Amino acid sequence: MAGAVSLNVRIEPEISTALLRASMDRKIQRLDPFTQRDIVAEALAEWLKKHGYLA
């Protein structure tokens, strides 16, 4: 993953649990994205675009 940077954040336990469940379910179903990293990156990118911070 060229150009990736590390980011550490604190999130609520229920979000962490839901993310783990989503990641595992999607991996079993062979759906992309399925890694926690990719799910978080997609969700964050959508939020940033919606609010005008990312083109």
- The DSSP letter of residue 10 is -
Give the pLDDT confidence of 4-55 residue by residue, as tens digits.
999 999 999 999 999 999 999 999 999 999 999 999 999 999 999 999 999 9
Are 41 and 54 in contact by the 8 Å Cβ rule? The answer is no
The reply to whether the predicted model has a pTM over 0.75 is yes
38 Cβ contact list (under 8 Å, min separation 6) = 32
pLDDT of residue 23: 98
pLDDT, position 3: 85
Q: How far is CA 7 from CA 25, 31, 33, 35, 37, in A?
A: 24, 24, 19, 15, 10
Give the C-alpha separation, 37 to 40, whole Å: 5
pLDDT for res 42: 97
